[in-house]
Structure 1
Amino acid sequence: MKYIATIVLAVFFIMPVSSQEDRPKLVVGIVVDQMRYDYLTRFYSKYGDGGFKRMMREGFNCKNNHFNYVPTYTGPGHASIFTGTTPKYHGVIGNHWYDKEAKGMVYCAGDNTVLPIGTNSDMERMSPHRMQTTTFADENRLFTQMRGKSIGISIKDRGAVLPAGHSANAAYWFRGKDEGNFVSSSYYFKQFPKWVDDFNASKIAQSYLKEWHTLYDISTYVESGPDSNEFEGGFNGKETATFPYNLKKLAKKNEGFDILKATPFGNSIVADFAIKAIQAEALGKDDITDVLTVSFSSTDYVGHNFGVNSKEIEDTYIRLDKDLERFFKVLDGEVGKGEYTVFLTADHGAIDVPAYLQSNKIPAGYLDNNARKALFQKFLIDTYGTADIVENISNNQIFLNRDMIKALDLDLEDIQDAIVNEQIRYPHITKAYTATTMGTVNFTDGIEALLQKGYHQKRSGDVILVNDPAYINYSKTGSTHGSGLNYDTHVPLLFFGKGIKKGQTYKKTEITDIAPTISALLGISFPNFAIGQPLEFVLENE
């Protein structure tokens, strides 16, 4: 017994303890919207030494990092990164989803109980109330008795609101249209801090309505396809999706300041605002850890518009690298080298434009949802006498009208099974599963396990559909995302700064590992439904 006690005592004393001095003064969580992992390697030669390369050189590069659920959308992605869990538990099952109780679509950050701040538009009534679990920023607030600050910043509201957490001091996002300002909601405060009013009054957004040309000679952009091709969308008012773009001239036909969202300058103004927040809020200026979340969303808008293989996406990442470099220099000066910790990842990847893949003989294509809908309605009427037993079809899920099923004295599980057997016959549906299957079978690998981690029993549908690889419901120009395939799940994961080792790994890591890793670094409680594990090989004091 004495021998065992000695061992226990020895283990206790050699275990690292996260002290005040060990913790970074500031944690910065960076999300690059729609960033595929191969953007790190494909554009590597074009990056400078102070942005992405600095993170890889001075920090730790997890090269085989994946999302571990479906669907791979922006709202679920941001929620999962910062909560350490998946839609199955945090409840953000899409950007929008069908609410079975309200009988209508809801938005992941929408909240009609709050008021917009900084704008008169009712479109900006946002809060994190639909996210059901805590983030590591929430846990840091609780750990520090609410003295550690938590602020979220993005072009997109959901990219600011969800990462910052429920107890955040503030979340700010960009309203375009005819305003060009950062806005927020009364969930956080009744009026802006003076520095936010001053930033908006500076009219910095106007300065970015300028000509967008490639940063370097376009002939050197050999990592992307031809500038003129048939796979890109472009802007209203310009016949071709080719450089240069006169943004000031095009703004009127493209929702005013909204045009900035689909250019590299949307990222630049986010970096400007984040730098101002660090300075004005004195983030990282004392020994109580603060959290800043920054989501660069313009990469997503550019990808949707121009596609994965465009020169526009290449130039956007080259310019983002420059913005990261100046952002890190401010952190060095304001917080101090070695006093802050940064991680960088993405909320999802993206598919190459299927039309482009087809042109290179790679299996891909577009879904004919109208034809699919007609087949399905005929089946419902022929089988049940009505199509109204289906209440909604969205996000590759079918929601049944349970009241009608009960009134018709039908069996819910029988209908689910019949729909699966019907849908699997349709072109380009590769798999279909019932809610009963998702709730009763424990899948451990494959697409089934990803679907299950994305399935929320109360919020998700009665039948889940999976399309063929590289088949999408989208325009024939530009890229999109949402699947469980590698082009959507494989995203960067870089750590650097205080408490982080230098190194790299091809060991598989998952997006839900990030929040537990940061929590372990800070010595705080994990988010309350985190399922990920700390990446011990990343931390200096593992």
Structure 2
Amino acid sequence: MKLLKFSCLLIALLTGTISLSQKRTNNNQPAKSETINQSTYDPANRPNLVVGIVVDQMRYDYLTRFYDRYSNDGFKRLMKDGFNATNNHYNYVPTYTAPGHASIYTGTTPENHGIIGNNWYDKFIDKTIYNADDADANPIGTTSDEGKMSPRKLLSSTVTDELELFTQGRAKVIGISIKDRGAILPAGHAADAAYWFRGGDEGIFITSDFYMNSLPKWVTDFNSSKPAEKYLKPWETLYPVDSYFASGPDLNDFERAPRGKDTATFPYDLKQLAASNGDYNLIKSTPYGNTIVADFAIAALENEQMGRDVITDFLAVSFSSTDYVGHQYGVNSVEIEDTYLRLDKDIARLLEALDKNVGNDNYTVFLTADHGAVNVPAYLQQNKFSAGYFDERTFVKQMDTLSSEKFQVQGLIKNVSNDQIFFDQSVLESAGIDATDLQNYLATQIRNYPGVNKVFTRDAMVHGSFTNGMAALIQKGFHHQRSGDVIFVLDPGTIVYPNTGSTHGSAQSYDTHVPLLFYGKGINKGTTADRTHITDIAPTISSLLGISFPNSATGNPIGKVLK
């Protein structure tokens, strides 16, 4: 399976043909007759294993806000003994999970890698599609359609792909997450495996036949042990609930309780609540979702013998439960604080396993996030901040009415999603309406609409060249084929969301400012407040390994990080 995928990747990315007759032998060792070209990188700094950690919906200030309660072996270890880029930002919008993971690993933005959202409207087939959905893939480990996933919609290569190309497919690359997209996009096109969590009535890790025809024995053994069952237990705070001074009160009006519970307050009896909340899916919205990912990642590390030889392997781990908890309870909740305190312990466990299985001097880690999150606008309003909620349904109706009245044609707007308006091109053509005229008219109307901060047209994105400001962020997130005709930007602190819980997606600093930590072999100890971008991560790791940058990379290596 890997041979076939690797061959296809070579054809797609190199236009030439490279022999794949030499593959890894037992225990990941190169064949005796082959030599490894190390002339393009320093073998003294090249690790046996790279571990990429993405924490879903982690604002930068979660490192500092909860710092005093973190252990010395998790986040603090990475911060104190590694390199901390404190002014790291996303340099595009929208700031969602799929574009974030894609950008981290491709070193470029949606204008090049094509992942413009978690879901987006495909105007060519008149359908909203999911970033990893693949009708040609078959589920492995389950019969659920949740296994019909692949990275085929990702247009650029990843740093993990380039590692596979560089090593002629001998590197071992594995992606792991609760979310399919959190495992698939980082693992790339040529990975050995990507595993994600299937909740519902199963509570197991699954994959698709894009990667393999059957699960390895260690995965079936892991699943057979019913790993999720032990996490359907009470969720109580690690410390007395009234000692969580970095958060608001446990009982407040800004959180959404699970179905079957009157208030969003501790404790949460998960076993009792499971039947009303998707059975094992409930684990995703608790810190135990991160814990089971750490369990599985350690099992992969040990059973796949990653980092045991001179060929660099890559383990991509995404902790997604922080995002589920943040969406439900909000940035200022005790639930989010407790989730991060528990995640700190899971990261410490993972680092300990790396020390044991690979050796402290033989691996490199980076940790970042796919986006941040906004404080609950209702909470901000209560504290006299300018914030609010945007009624998108009313907005769409009004824009549809205005455009129909202006041009005397119905149905000009086909879809509104991800803060983008898509026209029905067939209606425009039939009525003889110039798309530029409709773009400009709607942009003028939207600029005066309450809650809207800025508006940009497709023509501006396609023909303009923006180097700074909001327009540059929009353009870097704009894909010529996949994006819409008019893009609007909401006011700071204004979201399309219920009145409880947090969300993300904007170009504001609460969504763009995320952690960036490097640690381990080849990494300097230090810190910088210089502005860095999420697209700099893949080039930095590529430079460390001495491999080609991902084929559409636009970021730059962070020189201060590398020895």
Query: Normalization by structure 2: what TM-score?
Result: 0.92
- 2:273 is aligned with what amino acid? L
**Equivalent residue of 1:336, what SS?**
coil
Q: Say whether residues 1:424 and 2:447 are aligned partners.
A: yes
What are the ranges of 5 or more consecutive residues in structure 2 without an aligned counterpart? Answer: 1-38
The equivalent residue for 1:450 is 473
Runs of 4+ in 1 over 6 A off after TM superposition: none
The equivalent residue for 2:33 is none
Q: Say whether residues 1:245 and 2:275 are aligned partners.
A: no
Q: Residue by residue, what CA displacement relative to the aligned partner does 1:500-519 show, whole Å, maximum 9, x if unpaired? A: 00000100000000000000
Aligned-pair RMSD on alpha carbons? 0.9
Q: Distance in 2 between matches of 1:520 and 1:70?
A: 26
Correspondence for 1:166 among 180, 183, 189: 189
Correspondence for 2:162 among 132, 139, 147: 139
The equivalent residue for 2:146 is 123
The equivalent residue for 1:196 is 219
The equivalent residue for 1:13 is none
**Equivalent residue of 2:47, what SS?**
coil
The equivalent residue for 1:84 is 107
- 2:100 is aligned with what amino acid? G
8 Å Cα contact 2:146-2:198 kept in structure 1? no
- 2:520 is aligned with what amino acid? G
8 Å Cα contact 1:351-1:481 kept in structure 2? yes
After superposition, residues 11-90 of structure 1 pair within 5 angstroms as 18-90=41-113
- Deviation at 1:385? 2.1
After superposition, residues 151-300 of structure 1 pair within 5 angstroms as 151-300=174-323
The equivalent residue for 1:406 is 429
- Deviation at 1:17? 5.2
**Equivalent residue of 1:41, what SS?**
helix
- Deviation at 1:218? 1.4
Q: Residue by residue, what CA displacement relative to the aligned partner does 1:327-384 show, whole Å, maximum 9, x if unpaired? A: 1000000000110000000000000000000000000000122321232122122112
8 Å Cα contact 1:263-1:302 kept in structure 2? yes
The equivalent residue for 1:499 is 522
8 Å Cα contact 2:400-2:412 kept in structure 1? no
Task: Report the more deviating stretch, 116-125 or 64-73.
Answer: 116-125
- 1:296 is aligned with what amino acid? F
Q: Distance in 2 between matches of 1:28 and 1:237?
A: 39
Q: Share of identical aligned residues, percent? A: 58
Task: Report the more deviating stretch, 349-358 or 118-127.
Answer: 118-127
Q: Distance in 2 between matches of 1:386 and 1:495?
A: 56
8 Å Cα contact 1:215-1:315 kept in structure 2? yes
**Equivalent residue of 2:84, what SS?**
strand
The equivalent residue for 1:323 is 346
- Deviation at 1:187? 0.4
Q: Say whether residues 1:536 and 2:530 are aligned partners.
A: no
**Equivalent residue of 1:204, what SS?**
coil
- Deviation at 1:203? 0.8
Correspondence for 1:483 among 506, 521, 530: 506
Task: Report the more deviating stretch, 439-448 or 298-307.
Answer: 439-448
Q: Distance in 2 between matches of 1:29 and 1:247?
A: 30
Q: Distance in 2 between matches of 1:370 and 1:291?
A: 44
The equivalent residue for 1:104 is 127
Q: Distance in 1 between matches of 2:42 and 2:511?
A: 38
Q: Say whether residues 1:390 and 2:390 are aligned partners.
A: no
- Deviation at 1:126? 0.3
8 Å Cα contact 2:111-2:476 kept in structure 1? yes
**Equivalent residue of 1:363, what SS?**
coil
Q: Say whether residues 1:148 and 2:163 are aligned partners.
A: no
The equivalent residue for 2:378 is 355
**How many aligned residue pairs are there?**
525
- 1:126 is aligned with what amino acid? M
Q: Say whether residues 1:471 and 2:494 are aligned partners.
A: yes
Q: Distance in 2 between matches of 1:284 and 1:49?
A: 24
- 1:379 is aligned with what amino acid? L
The equivalent residue for 2:532 is 509
- Deviation at 1:301? 0.1
8 Å Cα contact 2:403-2:438 kept in structure 1? no
- 1:174 is aligned with what amino acid? F
Q: Say whether residues 1:525 and 2:551 are aligned partners.
A: no
What are the ranges of 5 or more consecutive residues in structure 1 without an aligned counterpart? Answer: 1-15
8 Å Cα contact 1:92-1:130 kept in structure 2? yes
8 Å Cα contact 1:20-1:287 kept in structure 2? no
Query: Normalization by structure 1: what TM-score?
Result: 0.96
**Equivalent residue of 1:406, what SS?**
helix
Q: Distance in 2 between matches of 1:123 and 1:174?
A: 9
- Deviation at 1:178? 0.6
**Equivalent residue of 2:314, what SS?**
strand
Q: Distance in 2 between matches of 1:217 and 1:322?
A: 18
Task: Report the more deviating stretch, 73-82 or 380-389.
Answer: 380-389
8 Å Cα contact 1:153-1:294 kept in structure 2? yes
8 Å Cα contact 1:392-1:398 kept in structure 2? yes
